[in-house]
Amino acid sequence: MSIQSRSILHVDMDAFYASIEQREQPELRNRPVIVGGSPNGRGVVAAASYEAREFGVHSAMPASRAYRLCPSAIFVKPRISLYAQVGHQVREILSSFTPLVEPHSLDEAFLDVTGSLKLYGTASKIGHTIRARIKNELHLVASVGIAPNKFLAKIASDHDKPNGFTIVPPDKIAEFLDPLPIRRLWGVGKQAESRLKAFGVHTIGDLKQFPTDTLVETLGEKVGHHLARLCRGEDNRPVVPDHEAVSISHETTFAQDITDRETLRAVLQQLTEQVARRLRQQSVKASTVQLKIRYEDFQTYTRSVSLPVATDLTRELWDAVSMLFTERLPDRRLQVRLLGMGVANLKKGQAQQSLLSGDSENSRDRQLDHVRDAILDKFGNQGIQPGTGLTQSDDTR
């Protein structure tokens, strides 16, 4: 099967956290809602409803600034357990159409429905059915992008938000991509955009006409070749479901570069919580913890550390990635465009050595994780939160 004959969907929940709060609290509907910390403290915005976004509010923004932009906004404390429970319900809907579901975060996922077309109809029909089920069963709204590969599907799902539905057929790739601004390409930050615009490159179509050699010379070999492929809509990555993954990761790209260290730590904590929960859901443990950070000039660094014993404990994963963030990053100004946390070297069914040896601290951590997971599975609306400051931030969707 050729790459271009695949049918890939990207399903992205619209204003996920804020929409859940509006669903749970009818008095918040059609009003500007900001999920995050208090505007009177050092809190940050975890999510904003579309009504709040009209005032310029976006995720990872200091809550105090969000309040100045939108004084009429209603600030709501995050309920991560509730959001994770709803994310699991969304995942169940997606998995009913294909086993090839690759979660990207709590509120978005890729699906390869190529093998499901004979059973469920066209990719368009599957996409419409998924949206209808999410609306009817969960009373939430999702945007869907359909294309021959993951990159195009992701761009398509974001093309007409909220409640968007965009199809990019193989013979319409150039027609879809060429008019879009270059900042829509993965890897084009403010600095790269400024350099390209200096050459008269404003759209993806302009970039496609730009000589690859000059692009490499301008932005570096890795970024140059990367953008040369993307501007032509080329992306060969397969959809990798959880049970086949050799690693698990979550990352978030910020709407604006983040310079505040505490904001970055809050986001990193939430990414760690998501990864830890996915490990426990799959009954696997990880012996390698990874940190990924991308700066405004697209310089990307990955750091990793090996653990003495494979684990799925939230605290142990956080201790490791926090050390990487604090001690292993280059000595340069924090102006961060992307932050990610992941684990690798997954081991199935390995006993927890520290528990067997009677480590009371790890035993307590495991009990806390199990209690949180159990409450999340059965009573997600209770909003159990870990005591690590996770209430301050989350993924930027």
Instruction: Find the mean pLDDT for residues 101-118.
Output: 92
Per-residue pLDDT reduced to its tens digit, 253-283: 887 788 888 889 988 988 898 899 888 888 8
4 has pLDDT over 80: no
Among 51, 108, 296, 316, the active-site one is: 108
Q: What pLDDT score was predicted for residue 376?
A: 57
To the query of whether residue 108 is one of the catalytic residues in this protein, the response is yes
* Residue 156 and residue 214 in one domain: no
- Please give the Cα distance from 372 to 327 (Å, whole number): 30
Report helix, strand or coil for 238: coil
- Please give the Cα distance from 78 to 273 (Å, whole number): 14
| Residue 388 located in a structural domain | yes
For every residue of 324-387, DSSP letters joined together read HHHHSS-SS---EEEEEEEEEEEEET---HHHHTT-HHHHHHHHHHHHHHHHHHHHGGG----T
Task: Look up the domain containing 130 and give its range.
Answer: 3-12+91-172
> Which amino acid would we find at residue 151?
F
Instruction: Find the mean pLDDT for residues 87-114.
Output: 92
137 has pLDDT over 90: yes
For position 67, which CATH number holds? 3.40.1170.60
Q: What pLDDT score was predicted for residue 397?
A: 35
Whether the predicted model's global pTM rises above the 0.75 cut: no
Angle (CA) 335 392 161, round 5°: 75
| Residue 159 located in a structural domain | yes
Residues forming a β-bridge with 306: 288
Provide the mean pLDDT of the chain. 86
- Please give the Cα distance from 201 to 271 (Å, whole number): 35
Domain boundary among 147, 172, 197: 172
Residue predicted with more confidence, 155 or 251: 155
- Please give the Cα distance from 120 to 123 (Å, whole number): 8
Assign 38 a pLDDT band (cuts: 50, 70, 90): confident
| Residue 240 located in a structural domain | no
User: Residue 34, by phi and psi: left (phi above 0), alpha (psi -120 to 50) or beta?
Assistant: beta
* Residue 21 and residue 71 in one domain: yes
- The count of domains in the chain is 4
* Residue 134 and residue 115 in one domain: yes
- Please give the Cα distance from 97 to 281 (Å, whole number): 20
Per-residue pLDDT reduced to its tens digit, 150-185: 999 999 999 999 999 999 999 999 999 999 999 898
Extract the tokens encoding 228: 């040369």
- The length of the chain is 397
CB neighbour burial string for 285-298, b if at least 16 within 10 angstroms, e if fewer: bbbbbbbbbbbbbb
Q: What pLDDT score was predicted for residue 385?
A: 43
Domain boundary among 55, 80, 105: 80
* Residue 289 and residue 364 in one domain: yes
* Residue 384 and residue 297 in one domain: yes
Instruction: Find the mean pLDDT for residues 49-77.
Output: 93
Per-residue pLDDT reduced to its tens digit, 346-385: 887 644 444 333 455 567 777 777 766 666 555 543 444 4
